[in-house]
Structure 1
Amino acid sequence: MIQDVLKQLGIEATNKGTSTGSDWFGSGAEISSSSPVDAKHIAKVATTTREDYDKVVETAQKAFKDWRLVPAPQRGEIVRQFGNKLRELKEPLGKLVSYEMGKSLQEGYGEVQEMIDICDFAVGLSRQLYGSTIHSERPGHRMYDQYHPLGIVGIISAFNFPVAVWSWNTALAWVCGDVCIWKPSEKVPLTGVACQKIIADILKENDMPEGISCLINGDYKVGEFMTTDKRIPLISATGSTRMGKIVASTVAERLGKTLLELGGNNAIIVTPDADIKMTVIGAVFGAVGTAGQRCTSTRRLIIHESIYDKVKDAIVAAYGQLKIGNPLDENNHVGPLIDTDAVAMYQDALKRVVEEGGNIIVEGGVLEGEGYESGCYVKPAIAEAENHFDIVQHETFAPVLYLMKYSGDVENAIELQNGVAQGLSSAIMTNNLREAERFLSHAGSDCGIANVNIGTSGAEIGGAFGGEKETGGGRESGSDAWKIYMRRQTNTINYTTELPLAQGIKFDI
Structure 2
Amino acid sequence: MAQTLPFKLANPDLFKDKSYVNGKWVEAKSGKKFDVYDPGNGQVWALCPNNAAEDVDAAVEAAHAAFQKYKLVNPRTRAQLLMKWDTLIRENKEDLAQILTHETGKPLAEARGEIDYAAGFTWWFSGEAERVRGTVSQPAQPGRRHVTVKQPIGVAAALVPWNFPIAMILRKCSAAFAAGCTIVVKPSPETPLSVLTLAYLAEKAGFEPGVFNVLTTALDNTPSLSEALCTHEHVKKVTFTGSTRVGKLVAKLCAEGLKKVTLELGGNSPFIIFDDANLEQAAEALMALKWRHAGQACITANRIYVQKGIYVKFTNLIAEKTAKLKIGHGAQDGTTLGSLTTPQSVDKAFSFVEDAKKNGGRVLTGGNKVKIDDGYFFEPTIILDAHEGLLVSKEEQFSPIAAFFAFESEEEVVKAANDTSMGLASYFFTKNIDRTWRLLENLEAGQIGMNTGNMSAAEIPFGGIKMSGYGKESGKDVAIEEYLITKTGVLSLEGHY
Indicate the TM-score class for this superposition, using the shorter chain for normalisation: over 0.9
Deviations 1:111-147 (A, max 9, x none): 2222321111111111100223333112232213221
- The alpha carbon displacement at 1:7 in A equals 6.8
Residues 4, 102 of structure 1: CA spacing in aligned structure 2 closer, same or farther, 3 A cutoff?
closer
- The alpha carbon displacement at 1:26 in A equals 2.6
Secondary structure class of the residue paired with 2:18:
coil
Alignment of 1:21-420 (within 5 A): 21-28=23-30, 29-203=32-206, 209-218=208-217, 219-368=222-371, 372-384=372-384, 385-408=386-409, 410-420=410-420
Aligned to 2:434: 434
- The alpha carbon displacement at 1:391 in A equals 3.9
Give the letter aligned to residue 353 of structure 2.
Answer: L
Residues 242, 25 of structure 1: CA spacing in aligned structure 2 closer, same or farther, 3 A cutoff?
same
In 2: Cα distance, 1:4 partner to 1:37 partner: 13
Residues 5, 262 of structure 1: CA spacing in aligned structure 2 closer, same or farther, 3 A cutoff?
farther
User: 4+ residue stretches of structure 1 with deviation over 6 A?
Assistant: none
Give the letter aligned to residue 459 of structure 1.
Answer: S
Aligned to 1:504: none
Give the letter aligned to residue 459 of structure 2.
Answer: G
> Percent same amino acid among aligned pairs?
25
- The alpha carbon displacement at 1:4 in A equals 5.4
Aligned to 1:491: 489
Task: Check the 8 A contact 1:19/1:196 in 2, yes or no.
Answer: no
Comparing 165-174 with 34-43, greater Cα deviation is found at 34-43
- The alpha carbon displacement at 1:418 in A equals 1.0
- The alpha carbon displacement at 1:284 in A equals 1.7
Deviations 1:244-303 (A, max 9, x none): 111111111221121111111111111111001011111122111100001111111111
Which runs of 5 or more structure 2 residues have no equivalent in the other structure?
Answer: none
Task: Check the 8 A contact 1:75/1:175 in 2, yes or no.
Answer: yes
Secondary structure class of the residue paired with 1:335:
coil
In 2: Cα distance, 1:426 partner to 1:50 partner: 38
In 2: Cα distance, 1:42 partner to 1:55 partner: 28
Give the letter aligned to residue 440 of structure 1.
Answer: L
Give the letter aligned to residue 436 of structure 1.
Answer: T
Secondary structure class of the residue paired with 1:146:
strand
Q: CA RMSD in A?
A: 1.9
In 2: Cα distance, 1:492 partner to 1:367 partner: 67
Secondary structure class of the residue paired with 2:61:
helix
1:460 aligns with 2:457: yes
Give the letter aligned to residue 413 of structure 2.
Answer: A
- The alpha carbon displacement at 1:333 in A equals 1.4
In 2: Cα distance, 1:199 partner to 1:170 partner: 10
In 1: Cα distance, 2:10 partner to 2:326 partner: 31
- The alpha carbon displacement at 1:310 in A equals 1.2
- The alpha carbon displacement at 1:11 in A equals 4.5
Secondary structure class of the residue paired with 1:306:
helix
Secondary structure class of the residue paired with 2:403:
strand
Deviations 1:135-160 (A, max 9, x none): 31122322132211010110000000
Task: Check the 8 A contact 2:429/2:451 in 1, yes or no.
Answer: yes
Secondary structure class of the residue paired with 1:10:
helix
In 2: Cα distance, 1:317 partner to 1:210 partner: 53
Task: Check the 8 A contact 1:5/1:93 in 2, yes or no.
Answer: no
Task: Check the 8 A contact 1:20/1:215 in 2, yes or no.
Answer: no
Q: TM-score, normalised by structure 1?
A: 0.92
